[in-house]
A = this chain, B = another copy of it.
């Protein structure tokens, strides 16, 4: 993509309203634009990152056997009356009426709709287990939305829902998602630590928040350092292996890890001092088993092996891609701008032409772009008529993993420069060696 034809509205000034670094950088890098309080448009660069996050989330859901659907954003109030949540939900639910004065709402979550879909079609334990998920826009009418897409009113959420015949089966479904989330965050370049979360009136131990560590995190967290280099299961992990998955989950919950809310200083004190880590964290995923909380009132029942009907056991599982984009920036940036992990970078390479209009530079850049794209790499080619300093600043700000710098001096010797954004390391090489060099990482 040539930058002259792209739409990348970089801001020179740091926007005053942005309180946290990810919000500032997303605005400055032309990734998003606020259209109303807590409501953002995703501009081309931001949308590419968001889509890459979704691709990873989707691939790992599919690998774990979950099946994708897409529920509507607008839901009927009557369905929420069946579960008893319509009145209970409070002001965060955006309620509305259509032209016939029928009560509707913009879904903040979809337990009711998915339970309706399930109960309309599924009759027998033989059709279980099922895990249905969607990646779709939700709305929560936060009283004071801020922090950009970290806590926006309209936000993208992958929400999945599992259906099982009993609690033991539901636990396996829960474990599948637990492991799929470990893999998802690993692929996104993030180390997320599962921490026990409050299960409220349901009780039990089947609720975890996945937390990434970041200096600017929203809450204090306490955990054992052991989590920082615990191995994540490989792609070949067998999601049908009940005992095997339980073993992974046991290992990943064997050490201390708690958010402020669930923290127990006395238990934490038992962790060897050198292993104790207290830091700030950002919640990037939440999984929850809630038994028959919805299936009983909404009559989502199946026939068991004995012929009798029983309500299904359910769980729900969330990851917020629009929040993850911001959280990744909180965890990966420097003074100059964003540092994208390779997996979700909007483009792989920033190709910088230091002298647009110079025949040799223009030709070399066109050839390099073609060669990199042929090698399967995506390139944002800065072909604007700007001074080098502005181009370097833009490249650092938008944080593509690699910068390829092409100038007349180097070209005279048949060389171009390659810079790794994260480390700042530079090397000089022959243009023909570029694709192999970048692929090597």
A interface, CB within 8 angstroms of B: 5-7, 9, 30, 33, 35-37, 39-44, 47, 50, 65, 67-76, 79, 91-92, 94-96, 98-99, 102, 104, 106, 113, 116-117, 120-122, 130, 132, 137, 139, 141, 143, 153-154
- A67 and B33 in contact (CB under 8 A), knowing A41-B72, A141-B98, A141-B99? no
Interface of A is mostly: mixed
Docked CA distance A71–B42 (Å): 6
Nearest Cβ in chain B — how far from A250, in angstroms?
26
Give A152's nearest chain B residue, CB to CB: B72
Decide if B154 touches A74 in the complex (CB within 8 Å): yes
Tell me which of B73, B99, B141 contacts A91 (CB under 8 A).
Answer: B99
Decide if B35 touches A116 in the complex (CB within 8 Å): yes
Decide if B91 touches A94 in the complex (CB within 8 Å): no
Decide if A41 touches B70 in the complex (CB within 8 Å): yes
Nearest Cβ in chain B — how far from A350, in angstroms?
17
- CB-defined contacts of A74 to chain B, threshold 8 Å: 36, 39, 94, 106, 139, 153-154
Decide if B69 touches A44 in the complex (CB within 8 Å): yes
Decide if B94 touches A68 in the complex (CB within 8 Å): no
Copy count, this protein chain: 2
Decide if B44 touches A67 in the complex (CB within 8 Å): yes
Decide if B6 touches A39 in the complex (CB within 8 Å): no
- CB-defined contacts of A102 to chain B, threshold 8 Å: 36-37
Tell me which of B39, B104, B116 contacts A72 (CB under 8 A).
Answer: B39
Interface CB pairs A-B, < 8 A, 5: A30-B121, A33-B117, A42-B71, A72-B154, A95-B96
Docked CA distance A47–B6 (Å): 30
Which 5 A/B pairs are nearest by Cβ-Cβ distance? Answer: A9-B121, A96-B96, A42-B70, A36-B76, A41-B71
Docked CA distance A36–B141 (Å): 22
Decide if A65 touches B5 in the complex (CB within 8 Å): yes
Decide if B47 touches A70 in the complex (CB within 8 Å): yes
Decide if B137 touches A6 in the complex (CB within 8 Å): no
Docked CA distance A129–B410 (Å): 34
Decide if B94 touches A98 in the complex (CB within 8 Å): yes
- CB-defined contacts of A35 to chain B, threshold 8 Å: 71-72, 75-76, 79, 113, 116
Additional A-B contact list (18), CB under 8 Å, known A9-B122, A96-B106: A5-B67, A7-B130, A9-B120, A35-B76, A36-B75, A36-B76, A39-B75, A41-B117, A42-B71, A43-B69, A44-B67, A72-B154, A73-B73, A91-B99, A94-B98, A96-B96, A98-B153, A137-B137
Docked CA distance A43–B68 (Å): 8
Nearest Cβ in chain B — how far from A406, in angstroms?
22
- CB-defined contacts of A44 to chain B, threshold 8 Å: 67-69
- CB-defined contacts of A30 to chain B, threshold 8 Å: 121
- A43 and B9 in contact (CB under 8 A), knowing A73-B154, A74-B106, A139-B74? no
- CB-defined contacts of A98 to chain B, threshold 8 Å: 94, 141, 153
